[in-house]
Amino acid sequence: MAEKKTFAREDSVLSHPRLFFLAIVLSLIFMDPFHWSPVASRDYQPVKLDVAPYKQVMKSWRNDNQSRLRNARLQFAGEVFGPESIEFDREGRGPYTGLADGRVVRWMGETVGWETFAIVSTNWSEKECANGVNSTTQKQHPKERFCGRPLGLRFDKRTGDLYIADAYYGLMMVGPGGGVATSLASEVEGSPILFANDLDIHSNGSIFFTDTSTRYDRRNHVFILLEGEATGRLLRYDPTTKSTTVVVSGLTFANGVQISKDETFLLVAETTKCRIMRYWLEGQRAAQLELYANLPGFPDNVRINDKGNFWVAIDCCRTRTLEVFSHYPWMRNIYFRLPLKLNILGKMVGMKMYTVIALFDIGGNAIDVLEDRRGEIIRLVSEVREVNGKLWIGTVAHNHVATFSYS
C-alpha cells in the first residue's frame, strides 16, 4: 500500500506540469544557484523610495525642443578616460580632470597636450593602472581600489591647492605643483569613508564633501540605485582641527555638492531620489535640510556660474515603471533577481538614457534646459562647468570632454 501511495503522489505532481515548471522557475529566481542575476551573492535589501511623481515634475519642466546639445563639440576623444569633474586653477590654466586610471591630469596646450598633474596613491604605476580607453570598462574595476578613482575636484583659489574627492582614498589635497596627493580624511567618527564623491570649499577653509554610501563602494554603486538605500552622508572637514564631522546623514546616493555665492546654503544631489536638496549654513534656517528641486532624471554634480546660478548634470529620464518600482520594493526584489544582465533588465522597463543639463536660479527654478535626446553627441554626463561663455561637460563613463558655446 505504501508503494502505491508514493506513485499516486508523484502522479499528482506530474499532472500539473505548469505548476511544476513555475515552482522550478521561482526556485531559480529566489535561490539563484547559478548566480545569474545582477544581485547574485548580494545581501539585496530594496526599500521604498519617496520620489516625486514623474507627471508632477514634468508638468513644470522646461523642454529643449531643439535638442541643442547636439551642437556640442567632442574634444580630447581617446585622450581622457572618464573625466568626471572639470576644474581650472587660479591662473586660469586647464582644464584639469580626474581619470578612471587614478590620475589627475591637466591640459597644457596643443604642443604639450595632457600631462599627469597628480596621483592619489603611492601604489600607482603606469603598468598596473594606465589602461587607456579600457580604464572606463569593467576591466579597470578590480584595480580601482589600488590605483584610486579621483572624482570631484576643487581648487582653493587663495592657496592654489587642489582638493580631490577620491572614491576609495577619501578627501585628499595636492599643492600647486602637483605630485602625490595627501590624505586629509578617510574616516569620520569611527566609520570609514567608503565612497567619497564630490566637494566644495567654504571661504573659512572648511571642506564640505559627500560620502555616497556606507554600504557600497564606487565599484558597486549600481546596487545603491537598485536598493534605494539611504546611508549617504554630507561631511565637513575642518582644516584647523584636522577633524571630520557628519553634517547630514540618511541621504540616498549623496552626490554633487555646491556652496551658494553668498555662502548661506549649499546644494547636495540625491541621485536615487532624482532631486537636489538645500542645506542652510546661515540664517534662521541654519542646519536645516529642505527640498530645492525635483528632477526628471538622476543628478550628478552641481556647479555654480558667475551669476550665482547652478548647473546640474542629469542622466535622464525616469520611467513610469521605475516610479512603480520605487513604491513597491518587493517588485524590485523579484525583478532584479531574474537571471538576466542588468542592461537587458533596464531596457525591459523602458530605460533609454540621454543627457540633460539644467540651469537653476537660487530659488530652485529651472531657467534653462539643454538636451541631447537621441544621445547623438553626449551620454552619461557627470558635470557642467561654465567658463567664459563656454560649457565644459564631463562624463564619468566615456573617453572625451564635450564643450558647448553658451552666452
Tally DSSP H helices, then E strands, for the chain: 9, 27
Query: Nearest CA to 101 among 115, 86, 119, 117?
Result: 119
The CA distance from 92 to 114, in Å, is: 16
* Separation CA 248–CA 400 (nearest Å): 34
- Cell 546616493 belongs to which residue? 253
- Per residue in 231-290, pLDDT tens? 999 999 999 999 999 999 999 999 999 999 999 999 999 999 999 999 999 999 999 999
67 — alpha (psi -120 to 50), left (phi > 0) or beta?
left
Name the nearest CA neighbour of 168 among 144, 141, 199, 185: 144
Q: Are residues 354 and 373 in contact, defined by beta-carbon separation less than 8 angstroms? A: yes
Residues 6+ apart with CB under 8 A from 236: 206, 207, 208, 209, 244, 245, 247
Which residues in 109-264 belong to E strands, given as ranges? 114-119, 150-155, 162-166, 170-174, 179-180, 182-185, 187-188, 191-192, 196-201, 207-211, 232-238, 243-251, 254-259
What does the alpha-carbon distance between residue 125 and residue 102 come to, in Å, rounded to a whole number?
10
Q: Tell me which H or E stretch contains 278.
A: strand 275-280
Q: Would you state the pLDDT for residue 37?
A: 82
What is the structure's pLDDT at 290?
A: 98
In the chain, helix, strand, coil percent, each to 5? 20, 35, 45
Strand partners, 106: 96, 115
Question: What's the CA gap between 296 and 317, in Å, rounded?
Answer: 6
Sign of the alpha-carbon torsion through 106, 108, 111, 112: negative
Beta partners for residue 155, in sequence order: 162
Low-confidence residues of the chain: pLDDT under 50: 1-11, 13-14
Distance in angstroms (rounded) separating the CA atoms of residues 152 and 376:
26
Q: Cell digits for 136? A: 572606463
pLDDT of residue 353: 80
Residue-wise pLDDT tens digits, 330-371: 999 888 888 888 888 887 776 778 899 999 999 999 999 999
Instruction: With both helix axes pointing from N to C terminus, report the angle between 2-14 and 17-31 in degrees, rounded to the nearest 10.
Output: 80
Cell 536638496 belongs to residue: 277
